[in-house]
Amino acid sequence: MRRRQPRSTQSRSSAASDVYKRQIVTVDIDTDDRAYALAIQDDGKIVAAGYSFDGANTDFALVRCDENGEPDQTFDTDGIVITQVASPVVLMRFDEARALAIQADGKIIAAGKSYNSTDDDFALVRYE
Ligand SMILES: [Ca+2]
Ligand SMILES: [Ca+2]
């Protein structure tokens, strides 16, 4: 069981003084959460990839929202998937997803880096 649980998800409209309409979504996964990549699935769902820091380590973090920006409950029950890429023997894990692609069959692939105790390595994760 992971410690990380989303604490809040907010969705709100733009300030009334602005002309351009927009929708803002924030997802609080853990201490430090950052999105670096975005992709839109064929069904219109929005996938963002980055990392989540739990105070000690960073792991790949994926968030999937529906077209309205609401967390997709069909995606790992809460719209959030955290993946530890580094081996458990690595004491300080620094895994970060920086790019995202959707395969023709709909599977999601995230690419980034993983720290191996000495230096960083390419890291790719495919979500089945
Ligand atoms: Ca946070
Ligand atoms: Ca989850």
- Over the chain (128 residues), the average pLDDT of each successive run of 10 is 53 66 89 97 97 96 94 96 92 94 97 95 96
Judging by beta carbons within 10 Å of its beta carbon (0-12, 13-18, 19+), is residue 108 exposed, middle or buried? buried
SS3 68: coil
Q: Which domain holds residue 26?
A: 22-127
Distance between Cα 80 and ligand 2 center (Å): 4
Distance between Cα 87 and ligand 2 center (Å): 20
Q: Please give the pLDDT value at position 20.
A: 80
Distance between Cα 19 and ligand 2 center (Å): 36
**Does a structural domain hold residue 46?**
yes
**Does a structural domain hold residue 112?**
yes
Q: Please give the pLDDT value at position 1.
A: 35
Distance between Cα 115 and ligand 1 center (Å): 22
Q: Which residue in the block uniquely carries the two structure tokens 């979504």?
A: 25
Q: Please give the pLDDT value at position 9.
A: 60
**Does a structural domain hold residue 76?**
yes
**Does a structural domain hold residue 30?**
yes
Overall domain count for the chain: 1
CA separation for the pair 38, 105 (Å, rounded): 18
**Does a structural domain hold residue 6?**
no
**Does a structural domain hold residue 34?**
yes
Q: Are 123 and 112 in contact (CB under 8 A)?
A: yes
Q: Please give the pLDDT value at position 13.
A: 58
Q: Please give the pLDDT value at position 2.
A: 45
**Side-chain half-sphere exposure of 104, counting CA atoms within 13 A:** 0
